[in-house]
Amino acid sequence: MANINVTINGAQLSVNEGVTILEAARESGIDIPTLCYIAELAPTGACRVCVVEVEGPRTLIAACHMPVTQGMVIQTHSPRVLEARRAIVELLLASHCGSCYMCEKANICELRQIAADLDVGLPRFPTSRRYYPMEDVSPYIVRDLTKCILCRRCVMACNEIAKKHVYGIAYRGFASKIIVNFDEAINTEACKDCGICIPYCPTGALRTPEDIHQEKKGTPLVIKG
């Protein structure tokens, strides 16, 4: 595989052709935050938390699915990038239910962790939340779409690992939603028992019925500072 030269944060690097900006940055020890990205699944570019500045294009670029090109000049932590990342996380929080005190995944929630890392507190934007009834008819999965941030990790895990294609995405804009069949509650007809999607959920939207009754035992949030 040919090597190509890129510049990341002023450092010149030689990386394999075909790697993404995120992979190139991580190979050189640069940490770009991600939310929807999972290395073993195809990137969806859904969350935009990984945006970086590339010399040339006017807009910021999602690092997780953009391959590097010869001579690319990338800034991963410029003021413009940090401002955009914070705004993206603030917008996610503005539509998230915010019931962290009662959430079983509060201490291991990736959204909270990223917000803490980026120093994002209460969103500046008016909050507008989606509320859905808890789906607990399945003996294997409890789904609480009120906590879903539409990262699509469950969709990709179900499609690519379990190869079951249980989930889909429906509606548009603020009404977008991860659906099962024709927007039905998740039940044993739709989903049997693999539960592969549960650990991929970054928030508390997917849990096992046992999780519901457990204390919050996650690793405490570590705020990098």
Shortest distance (Å) from residue 35 CB to ligand FES: 5
- Of 36 and 197, which has the nearer Cβ to ligand FES? 36
Helix 79-94 to helix 110-117 angle (10° resolution) is 140
Q: According to DSSP H, which parts of the chain are helical?
A: 21-27, 79-94, 110-117, 153-157, 209-212
Q: Do 150 and 95 touch, CB atoms closer than 8 A?
A: no
The least distance separating ligand FES from the CB of residue 66, rounded to whole angstroms, comes to: 9
Task: Choose between 34 and 146: whose C-beta lies nearer to ligand FES.
Answer: 34
Which C-beta is closer to ligand FES: that of 49 or that of 155?
49
Q: Are strands 73-75 and 51-54 parallel, antiparallel or unpaired?
A: antiparallel
Looking at the Cβ atoms of 37 and 200, the one nearer to ligand FES is: 37
Near ligand FES in 1-40, by CB under 6 A = 34-37
- 34 with 138: CB under 8 angstroms? no
Task: Tell me whether residue 83 or residue 189 sits nearer to ligand FES (CB atom).
Answer: 83
CA separation for the pair 211, 48 (Å, rounded): 29
Distance of closest approach, residue 120 Cβ to ligand FES, in angstroms: 16
Q: Which of residues 43-102 bind ligand FES (CB under 6 A)?
A: 45-50, 62, 64
10 Å CB burial of residue 157 (0-12, 13-18, 19+) is buried
Residues near ligand FES (CB under 6 A), total: 12
Residues that bind ligand FES (CB under 6 A): 34-37, 45-50, 62, 64
